[in-house]
Amino acid sequence: MIKQISALILALLVCSNIWAQDEEQAENFQLSDSMLAAFMAMSAEFDSIDNSFTYQEGAVEISNGLARLNLPEGYRYLNPEQAEYVLTQLWGNPPGSGSLGLIFPTGGSPMDNDSWAIDISYEETGHVEDDDAEDIDYADLLKEMRKDSKAYNKQRMEAGFDPIELIGWASPPFYDKANKKLHWAKELKFGEAEDHILNYNIRILGRKGVMVLNVIGDMSHLDNIKENIDVVLGSVSFNEGNRYSDFDSNIDEIAAVGIGGLIAGKVMAKAGIFALLAKGGKFILLAIVAAGAGIWRFISGKKAAKE
């Protein structure tokens, strides 16, 4: 349905190009009944989608008791089923992300172009040892990641998705050894898009794997995310039995990667390059909608002035 609506709005923009080329034609330009009906249907559809989501607040159990969210005031959660719909149908990501849910700032929503979200997932990597954390050269690591991205992009392009260019660190890696929490941010470019994408990564180390929190937004959200990162980090924790300190060397496996491997995305090779999520599909769609709305306001204003 979303694709059909965007096609109708695109048709509206093409037709209204007649108006853009000649002011006299603009005053005589009128939307056909079918165009107006399509535009109104689009608006109603967007409202319907936005109102269909059911959010949770406060304490939320994740993945059958694996971990817990204690969402502070100002944040809300969408369950895995709704998150999958948002990620694939609205934002244009490949299916099968394995999302355990999405966190939104209160007031933001999947249909809000200015909003950002946090995708939650879990990677059972084994117990990640953090002995290498203080020895990592992040400049060298960035070079290695750029090299690896070429192989990942080949997979993406073969599957019909845009390649991803790693621009650099938007925020350099930081590891909180005491609380076993790691976070960093990358600046990415998807295909030929002019706007760069923010890929803010959080990893919380557990007994048998890592809880993954990926912030999905654009570079304009970076400052706001940095201001709230401590609140986000404090809201997610493993339950008893799954914590880092619960590791049992007699029965639990050690991960093949350390802190450097988590940052470089070595685990992502197993999950696939499509683990990188973005709002690309939504940005394109809402840009069309915004343009269509602007044209409608201008045309209706011209008509009123003439009358």
* Tens-digit pLDDT profile for residues 225-243: 888 888 888 999 999 999 9
Query: Is 28 domain-assigned?
Result: no
For residue 22, being part of any structural domain is answered with no
The pLDDT value given to residue 278: 61
pTM, entire model: 0.74
> What pLDDT, on a 0 to 100 scale, did the predictor assign at position 35?
67
Same domain, 153 and 60: yes
Q: Are residues 71 and 147 in the same domain?
A: yes
Same-domain pairing of 9 and 71: no
Number of domains comprising the chain: 2
Could you tell me if 272 and 128 lie in one domain?
Answer: yes
Do 213 and 68 fall into the same domain? yes
Per-residue pLDDT at 196 = 85
Average pLDDT, the chain: 79
Q: Say yes or no: 297 and 183 in one domain.
A: no
Q: 122-126, 141-145, 167-171, 281-285 — which is least confidently predicted?
A: 281-285
Q: Given strand 59-62, what is the order of strands in its sheet? A: 59-62, 67-70, 236-238
Model pLDDT, residue 266: 62
Do 235 and 300 belong to one domain? no
Range of the domain at 11: 2-16+33-50+286-306
Q: Give me the torsion for CA of 148, 152, 157, 163, rounded to 10°.
A: -60
Question: Is the domain of 66 the same as that of 154?
Answer: yes
Looking at the fold, whether 207 and 301 belong to one and the same domain comes out as no
Do 112 and 168 reside in the same domain of the chain? yes
